[in-house]
Structure 1
Amino acid sequence: MDRGYSQVSALKAIIKASFIAILRSPSAVVFTLAFPLIFVLVFGFIGGNTISLRIGVGKDCDTANAIYAALSRIKTIKLVTAPEEEMQEDLQKGHLTAVLNIMPAGKEDGVPRYTVHVRSSSASGDNIRIFEVILRDIVHTADARLFRDRPTVATIQTTRIPGRRYRQIDFILPGMLGFSLLSTGVFGTAFLFFSLRQTLVLKRFFATPVRRFNILLGEAVARLIFQLLGALFLIAVGYFFFEYTLVHGLETVLELLLLSAFGLIIFMGFGFIVSGIARNESTIPPIANIVTMPQFLLAGTFFPIDVFPGWLQPLCRILPLTYLNDALRKVAFEGVHLWNVPWDLLVLVAWGVAAYLAASRVFRWE
């Protein structure tokens, strides 16, 4: 070996070349940035108003009253007008929660009275019950304001304590970070090393003094840099456009990036396994999807694990992406530090050790 050969220079060259190749790869950009960004934007614009009730207004409905005015001020309720036949059809199809008719019913003690008629269908589902609760609350508030001397069996007192508002973006953005890390770690690594092996690039590397470890390290560092830039971009979009919660500001951002780097290193182990057992390029996606698809769906990426049936939740709680998503959400929203999520990190380490042990047995250089 040439004593003047610099392993550090070789490592830098590999990192630079690999980083440029990643930037030129459409799949890398799509999975790292495009898909997660689309989901972040969609859920960010949805915001905290996850329930939307479309209420049809009957043609004979009195709209000049306090009840209608109170309904029109509620952001989760959209009052719509349309021909009666169209509203009836929309009601049957579930496009409307209910059709509302508020009719004057004379006066009593100088106070106007109304009859509120609500027409719904079986397609309204649980939304009709939500709407009925809102209506009762409006009527109860009006009664309490107009008839102050009414007797009551109980007085309700509420206490509001300081708290942090949990927005939809606070759940979905960490899930999208996890989605991006798993996609890059598995698909990116598998396709890369299979291609390097098939095109004999690795074989050419062996003809040089560069160490094998530096080949792996260079590719890993290039992916790590690209992924962390992508993570930083997603966090910035969430924070500046959708008020994504970062409790400790820059400190929280740095911890999220450390977690992202840690997660990517773990998931790259699965990518090495897929690269080693794939016999041709067309078999990589099916094998990689066996690893990634259950985690995308079951690891709390798009919705909480609690929504799944009880028999399925134990499976959800053994997936590595579950623990990465959980740690990302705790650090960002709850303000905990990395040393406060030891269980999440230990489970990820256990998966990483298992993945790299398996990869060492199946990974092939040639």
Structure 2
Amino acid sequence: MTKKYSQLIALKAITKASLLAIVKYPGAIFFSLVFPLVFIWIFGSFGGGSIKSFKVVLDKSSDTSNVLLLQSLKQNPLFRFVEYKDSTKQRLDLEKGRIAAVLLISANNDETTLHKKYTIHVTATTASTPELTTIIPVLENIADKYETAINPKKENLVSISKRVYEIREFKQIDFILPGQIGFSILFSTLFGVAFTFYNLREQLVLKRFYASPINRLNILFGIGFSRLVFQLVNVVVLLVIGKYFLGFTLAHGFVTFIEIMLLTFFMLLMLMGVALIFSSIVKTDSTIPLLINLFGLPQILLSGTFFSITVFPSWMQTLCKILPLTHFNIAMRKISFEGLGILDCWDNIGVIAIWFIVVYALVYKFFKWE
């Protein structure tokens, strides 16, 4: 008697085989598990569970004789007091919004009250307008608590004076566009160069080039530069649209444009090296997207592309500052909005240069012609 064929066993066998095939494909695990976990970790780290504080400076000429008032200011968790030895740097950071305000405490001679009166002078710029909407009410609350503590009659002993200087408006596009340029060149260069060189190697084109009298560096850079030129054209288009349609700031016009292009070209060269490494170490082309995402995803989320890295806790900001895209984005914003020259961004370019040296040392070690 013929045994009846079991459809259930067949279903189980097919399901098992398909499941094993999925598990063996690293991209499936990455996009279904690792990718969401990274997003949860990063966005869950916003603020680090602590209160957002504002960087403020206490003017050196302040009257600090009233210890109670001074401690009320310094112990408030919303204020993070910083000191500057260079007054010019302090002024520049105030204009750029890196510090929210400068506080000056002055004593007023008034014999009509039992206790001495004080004025807290708040100096800020329009770059800190959002922060001032929080800072002023906090100062008023501190003044109210101080008056209640030492003055049963509730006399007005502390007044708040605000002076806001008008500076060039920092628009949302001035933050977003540099990040989007970084986003664009990162993935376009990695995918374009990695797949181009992988396919040329698989088709033995690189091997035939290698046997020709052409210098090996000319072969590499000749193929790579075609991708870089394409990316530079894309950056030009983004800058033109940003400038003339969205109001993107180019502090010194054409000079700023040229400096942005030079910075972008240097970053593209570094990214091309990363792509050459990926194209050399993979066994199949399906692994290339996985490596690119492992390298690129942290850069996009932790490099100030869509939001400032200041939203992260301090230990995480240290991690952010290791990534090359962080320094590219910072340098782009310094050049475009603040009007700094490319050499003024030497610290950011220096980090990218370190990556450049390490990457091309690895290219020299791992690159394969066949």
Q: Secondary structure at the match of 1:336?
A: coil
Q: How do residues 31-46 of structure 1 correspond to structure 2 at under 5 angstroms? A: none
Q: Please say if residues 174 and 248 of structure 2, whose CA atoms lie closer than 8 Å, have aligned partners that are also in contact.
A: yes
CA distance in 2, matches of 1:269, 1:212: 15
Could you tell me how far apart the structure 1 residues matched to 2:274 and 2:361 are? 10
Partner residue in 2 for 1:356: 360
Task: Identify which of 316, 321, 329 aligns with 1:325.
Answer: 329
Aligned-residue offset at 1:237: 0.8
2:207 to 182, 203, 210: 203
Percent of aligned pairs with the same amino acid? 44
After TM superposition, give the deviation of residue 225 of structure 1 in Å: 1.4
Question: 2:249 maps to which residue?
Answer: 245
Residue correspondence of structure 1 range 123-202 to structure 2 within 5 A: 157-202=161-206
Q: 1:288 maps to which residue?
A: 292
1:255 aligns with 2:259: yes
Give the Cα–Cα distance (whole angstroms) in 2 for the partners of residues 360 and 280 of structure 1.
21
CA distance in 1, matches of 2:224, 2:277: 15
**1:228-253: per-residue Cα shift (whole Å, max 9, x none)?**
11111001111111110111011111
Partner of 1:226: 230
Conserved 8 A contact 1:300-1:322:
yes
- For 1:152 and 1:242, locate their aligned partners in 2 and report how far apart those are by CA, in whole Å: 48
CA distance in 2, matches of 1:325, 1:241: 21
Q: Which amino acid is the alignment partner of residue 231 of structure 1?
A: V
SS at match of 1:243: coil
Task: Indicate conservation of the 8 Å contact 1:185/1:270, yes or no.
Answer: no
Asked whether the equivalents of residues 210 and 369 of structure 2 are also in contact (C-alpha less than 8 Å), the reply is no
Give the C-alpha shift of residue 324 in structure 1: 0.6
Q: CA deviation at 1:291?
A: 0.9
Aligned partner letter, 2:303: A
Per the TM alignment, residue 288 of structure 1 is displaced from its structure 2 partner at its CA by 1.3
Structure 2 distance, partners of 1:324, 1:182, is 11
* Aligned residue pairs, count: 219
Q: TM-score, normalised by structure 1?
A: 0.57
Contact 2:304 2:329 (C-alpha < 8 Å) held by counterparts: yes
Q: Does 1:264 align with 2:274?
A: no
SS of corresponding position for 1:354: helix
Cα distance in 2 for residues equivalent to 1:191 and 1:220 = 11
Deviation at 1:286, TM superposition (A): 0.5
Deviations 1:208-267 (A, max 9, x none): 332222111212221221111111100111111111011101111111111110110011
Shift of 1:156: 5.1
Q: Deviation at 1:157?
A: 4.2
Over the residues paired in the alignment, what is the CA RMSD in angstroms? 2.0
What residue ranges of structure 2 are gaps of 5+ in the alignment?
1-132, 138-154
Contact 1:247 1:332 in 2 (8 A): yes
Residues of 1 paired with 2:364 and 2:329: CA distance? Answer: 27
CA distances 1:331-352 after superposition (whole Å, capped 9, x unpaired): 0000000110110111110001
Aligned counterparts of 1:278 and 1:225: Cα–Cα separation in 2: 26
* DSSP-derived class of the 1:302 partner: coil
Distance 1:239 1:360 in 2: 40
1:124-171 per-position Cα deviation (integer Å, ceiling 9, x unaligned): xxxxx99xx9xxxxxxxxxxxxxxxxx987765432323111111111
- Aligned to 2:319, which of 315, 319, 340? 315
Q: Is the 8 A contact 1:170 1:244 kept in 2?
A: yes
Superposition deviation, residue 181 in structure 1: 1.7
Bigger relative contact order, structure 1 or 2 (CA pairs below 8 A, ≥6 apart): 1
Gaps of 5+ in 1: 1-128, 134-150
State the one-letter code of the partner of 1:349. A
Contact 2:189 2:231 in 1 (8 A): no
Q: Which amino acid aligns with 1:296?
A: I
**Alpha-carbon distance between aligned partners in 2 of 1:163 and 1:175, rounded to the nearest angstrom:** 23
